[in-house]
A and B are shown apart, each in its own frame.
Chain A
Amino acid sequence: MCTEADGSATVSFWSRQRAPMLIVSAILFLPPLAAIVQLTGDTNFCGRWCPRMFFAWREGTTMAAFLMGFVRAYMGVALVAAILVTTFAFGRHWCSHLCPVASPLELGSRLIPRGLKLDFSSTPAPSFRYAYLAVYLIAPAIGLGSLCCNYCNFAAVPRLFAAPFSEGDLIYFLRFQGVINLGLLLFLGIFAKGGRAYCNLLCPVGALDAIANRLGASFGRRIRIDHDACTNCGDCAKVCPTWAIDTTDRTTIDQLSCMPCRQCQDVCQHKAISYGKPAA
């Protein structure tokens, strides 16, 4: 955490409130309550709230059918649009503070002993992520198959919470595909250091959000480094859940992976990291 001149520690409001916000989001969006999705008569993110399927074109789909997908998933469309617009201006706060499907993965990972955690930080996340996104978009368009519903965090996480109460949701996991999804959530989520490997590698919404984050980096508010104050100590890189910080030569933040969780800001002894607009 940051240290004041008098030696007292400070943690920013948005950092302090991140876990509570993630918990509230999970309660509001995920079963057993799922109050937000019940506003439209749904029980989970499948259907009107699906944020992943509408932008994946399938071979043989007519333009009318493609556009009907936007209508069918109108809440998912609105959600993704809101995420991208707010990210462009303010950074990826959806991912860091609000995403209900990331919430149990990251918070769950905090309960796992450090020795059991898997460290994926040597993987160049954007390379993996955009290869996955490319196949996610191209494979159905050329009739090669689909990653859309078969490997879906927005389908699997809500059902993970619903399964103890509902046989319909338990059935989801009693299939090979369900077991694979569960394995991915555990392997890349709860047992991953930082709990965000699934988000960082396999979430198509996160991948689009990261592009908006990168495109708006020259204008919007982002986590930034003051290179005059930075000593390249590397403390920030050690706590980054999305391994977005590179300290190889001098400390840099990859805005294609960064979300404003502010953990780096909190640990920086030199106040070299802050959230804000680019320097004039």
Chain B
Amino acid sequence: MKKLLVFILAATLSVAAAWYRHGDSAHAMGMISVKGGRALHPVLLPSGRERYTLVVTGTILPPYRGDARITVDGGPPIPVIVRGSDPIIDLGLRRRPHFKDRTLTGLKPNDRFTVWVVMQPTEPMPAGKRDITFVDTATGSPVLTIPVLFGGGEGGHHVH
């Protein structure tokens, strides 16, 4: 009986944990390409907060090579921090793209990247759409655009 109760309790807690999303963060996945890339996940966040953290992970589709600068576009400008995920002690075992000054450098086909984008609006974020855009520094063309939709209430689930 105790085992059954624990199973039910754990399942209930787990369902609640899987369903509920805290509104200050999300995960987006995308693919950088010369044709403008593709966002794999729609990002939905509640409006009205003053800090959002988005982790963006992705891969580079052939034949793209180059450096990509990350910007947040749309709506009034807001303070944005972008951080990369370089090794703390780089042993140089494998070539990998690097991150500096909002720019992923040395991107080559099949590379993977992770960046953290922290948006800190000075006023509660109004409802609306922003884009996290990866722009090729050589051509100025977008190589990946990830829409971020602000709106709706706190909690609830969105795609991964």
B18 and A175: CB pair below 8 A? no
1/0 per residue A190-210: CB within 8 Å of B?
000000000001000000000
Q: What class of interface size applies to chain B in its complex with A? A: 35 or more
B116 and A145: CB pair below 8 A? no
B19 and A145: CB pair below 8 A? yes
Q: Check: A67 CB closer than 8 A to any chain B CB.
A: no
B18 and A145: CB pair below 8 A? yes
Chain A residues contacting B7 (CB-CB under 8 Å) are 127-128, 130-131
Most chain A beta-carbon neighbours within 10 Å: one of B18, B20, B24, B84: B18
Q: Contacting A124 at CB < 8 Å: which of B3, B8, B116?
A: B3
A146 and B83: CB pair below 8 A? no
Size of the chain A interface, CB-CB below 8 angstroms: 54
B56 to chain A, nearest CB (A): 11
B143 to chain A, nearest CB (A): 19
Q: Check: B17 CB closer than 8 A to any chain A CB.
A: yes
CB-CB nearest in chain A for B87: A43
Binds A, one of B72-80, B90-98, B145-153: B90-98
B83 and A167: CB pair below 8 A? yes
Q: Check: A47 CB closer than 8 A to any chain B CB.
A: yes
CB-CB nearest in chain B for A56: B160
Within A1-59, the residues touching B (CB, 8 Å) are: 31-35, 38-44, 46-48, 58
Name the 4 nearest CB pairs between A and B, nearest first.
A176-B22, A135-B14, A131-B10, A168-B83
